[in-house]
Structure formats: C-alpha cells, structure tokens
Structure 1
Amino acid sequence: MSFTPQKLLSNAVREKCLSTLKELPSYFGKDPKPSLHAAVLVPLCVNNSEVCLLYTLRSSNLNSHSGQISFPGGKLDNNETVYEAAVRETEEEIGINCSEIDIWGKMPQVQGREGAILITPVVGLIKDFDVKKLHRNPDEVEEIFTVPISDLCDRNSHGNFEFNNFFLPVYLHKKHKIWGITGLITHMFLQSLLPEKLYDFNFYNKKYTLDELMPSKL
C-alpha cells in the first residue's frame, strides 16, 4: 500500500478504516460524563496530488484554546446531529459547503481536556479540493493549512505530552505543533486508515512540556 490518492481513498481502504474505527474505545476522563456535546470534522483532502488532513489555527482572540491547532468544529445546536454540526461549523469556519464534503462516518467520542464536553469526530473527504475555495472566518480562524498523510507518518516529527499520567501524541509540521485532543484524534484516525508498516509511530522520540506546546502570547 502507498500514500497515493488512488490507494488511500479507495473504497476498500475506506471500508476497512470505518470498520476499525468502530472497534476503537471512547476516551473519557475521570470526571462524570459531560452533558455538552460537540463535533469536529476530520477533513481529508487531496492537495498537490497528496492525501492530506486539513487543520485550522484558532484565532488568538478566542476565549478558549486560542492560538492552538484544531479541526473545524464546535458545539451542537438544538436537535442537531453530529454530522450536521460538523459540516455546519466547517462552512462557518473555512467556507466549505456541505455539498462539497463526502462524509465517511464518525469516530468514537473523546472527552475534552477540561472534562466539560464530549467531542465526536466526523471523517469526511473534501471533494475537488482547491485552496482558492477556502474562505477563512477571521473571528475564529487565524490560518488554514494541510498536512500530507506521509508527513504525519514521519517518525522524526513525532513526540508526546504527558497529561494526567496519559501520554498524548504530538506531531510537528513546519512551524506547527499538533497535540492535545486534535493530536489524539489524528492518531486514532491514522491507526484506522493505515497499515502498521506505513504508520510506524514513535511518540517517545521527544517529550514536550506545556510551555513548549502552548502558543506565545504577543
């Protein structure tokens, strides 16, 4: 198996990925199961002939997680499904309409770092991806960028952050550090999408402190 779009985005790989995701456990902390729910889109896309994941850098003006890397997403509105919330938030944050997203399925829930919210990742492929179609919402998003799947598999870019005796994966990509819940979701997805020979991770390569991961305040 290779990293080409023809291989990674084939029906066979998609079905195997979704089957594996269903077997993964949900990640809950020690706190009681929270009542707030959110959804994020884990956006696959093809950029420069490479299969990538798309990330956003949150605006430094936001009250929570400002200046950190995340997937597009947010809290569910009344009577909204996780799929509806994920695509709505994606359109609001980066300008991609729901008609341009091929939804694969959902991943197990992950409890937010503060323990107050449950996050459901939704996997989707942005069809006919074109960076010119992206329209960043400046109130929420500082930057939109893509990372090739092959780069995320580079063992030299891997590290870890210890939180409550739990080791969270860290990925380096150029100036960005992908960590926290976003790093965990990335790891869960890559484990389900790729065979071990392609995704041979090495998170003990480097240990990061919170000061090294948190964005600098200007």
Structure 2
Amino acid sequence: MTTSFFKYTMSFSPKVLLSSSSRERCVARVKELPTLAFFEEKPTTLASVLVPLCVVGDEVHILYTKRSMNLKIHKGQVSFPGGKMDNNESVVETALRETEEEIGVAREDVDVWGQMSGIQGRNKDMLITPVIGEIKNFKMDKLTPNPQEVEEIFTVPISALCNTENHAHLEFKPPLPVYMYGKHKIWGITGLITHLFLQCLLPENVYRVDFLRKKFTLSELTMLSKL
C-alpha cells in the first residue's frame, strides 16, 4: 500500500471526517453556500431534511431512504428523511421530528452540525432546508422504518460517493448530479444536496467529480425508481 493511497483511505475514517477540525471546516463552508431558490413570491411550503452521517465499520457513511410506493409523489425515489414544517417549528426541529417518524431515530441521538442554505423544490413553491447531523451509536438493526413512508433504509460509504465510476448526470440545464450505488440511483434534490454537502465536507483533492461520464434522462430515472 502506497503512502498516498493510505492517506486517501484514511480521509474517510471517522477519526478524520468526524473530527472537530473537519466539522468546523465543513460548517464554515456550509455558511458560504448560496440559496438555490428563485421564487417570484414567497414559497408557500417550507420543509427540511436531515443529511444523516453515520459510522458503519471503520468508515463514515451517509444514510438514505427509498420512499414508499404508496406515496402520491416521488414514489420509489431515494431521499433524505424529512418533510414539511409544522406550525412554529424550526428547520432543525422539523428535520429531527421527521427522521424520528420515518426511521425511528430519536432526536436526542442526532448530533446536529448545522443547516445548509435553502433549495427550491421541484414543485416550484417549496423551500427545502437541509440539516446536517451525525446519528450517534448508529446500528442499522435498531432502525424502525415507517412502512407508510419508507420502503428501504440504506447507507452509502462516502468513499463510494467520491468514486467517479459511480458518477452520472441527469440531462437537464444545467446537468444535475447522479450517484450510482448498487441498485440505487441518488438524484434530484437529494443528489444535489449530497453534492453540495460533500463539497463542504471534503478537500478538493479527495472529492473529485466526473458527472458527465454517463447520462440519464428523467424518464429513465423515474422508471428505475419503480423497480
């Protein structure tokens, strides 16, 4: 094993990625992100999602859910736990409540790092704010997915998200990032949030992208979500 490969591998270890210095650098970069919303009027719906970091084995992963096929919109698509804000809730409170309701992670078991800038939803009138947090003492077998909302819970190693062989794009203007991991395709708002977060978390020499290497159309990704 070469020294450079060892350093690259260590870049994804909890000791490095979840260190206080890594967290501080990430939060500082997150604060510089622009708001990706272009509303003619104020959004009518506010929502938030949790970007859940977790430790699996000796590596940091990101947790995702696959939406139930029983849902009316975005059925079968990969998403982060989250949903619409209730009255008087903060962005963080919404993300933690929805995470507890959807996958059974108690809000006190999430160490919140901070929140990202808002992103306009696909339905044009929704503003989605991602909240970054680490699920402490993570164990997959302790999760309890809500079958009405969640078909599957899975995690993806951050190293896999950095592997350019797993990169593709949705044919759009501009092209939107797609991550391929096994049978799953991470795209849409979830793919964009993932990309923005990784840019904040990782050094440029670790997170290098090649989204243009493979192309998907919206119809292809929608069809794959139903499989």
Unaligned runs of 5+ in 1: none
Q: For 2:158, give the aligned amino acid.
A: I
**Equivalent-residue separation in structure 1 for 2:33 and 2:196 (angstroms):** 8
Correspondence for 2:180: 172
Asked if 1 retains the 8 angstrom alpha-carbon contact of 2:113 and 2:133, the reply is yes
TM-score for both structures, normalised by structure 2: 0.92
Unaligned runs of 5+ in 2: 1-6
The answer to whether residue 20 in structure 2 is matched with residue 11 in structure 1 is yes
| Runs of 4 or more above 4 Å deviation | none
Report Cα offsets for 1:53-102 as digits up to 9, x if no partner: 00000000101111000000000000000100000000000000011100
Where in structure 2 are the equivalents of 1:54-65 lying within 5 Å?
Answer: 54-65=63-74
Let me know the Cα RMSD of the aligned residues.
1.3
The answer to whether residue 67 in structure 2 is matched with residue 24 in structure 1 is no
Correspondence for 1:191: 199
Q: For 1:93, give the aligned amino acid.
A: E
Size of the aligned set, in residue pairs, is: 217
Correspondence for 1:39: 48
**Equivalent-residue separation in structure 2 for 1:76 and 1:67 (angstroms):** 22
**Equivalent-residue separation in structure 2 for 1:31 and 1:58 (angstroms):** 30
Q: For 1:195, give the aligned amino acid.
A: P
**Equivalent-residue separation in structure 1 for 2:210 and 2:38 (angstroms):** 24
The answer to whether residue 159 in structure 2 is matched with residue 150 in structure 1 is yes
Q: For 2:60, give the aligned amino acid.
A: V
Correspondence for 2:125: 116
Identical amino acids, percent of aligned pairs: 58
**Equivalent-residue separation in structure 2 for 1:36 and 1:90 (angstroms):** 19
Correspondence for 1:87: 96
TM-score for both structures, normalised by structure 1: 0.96
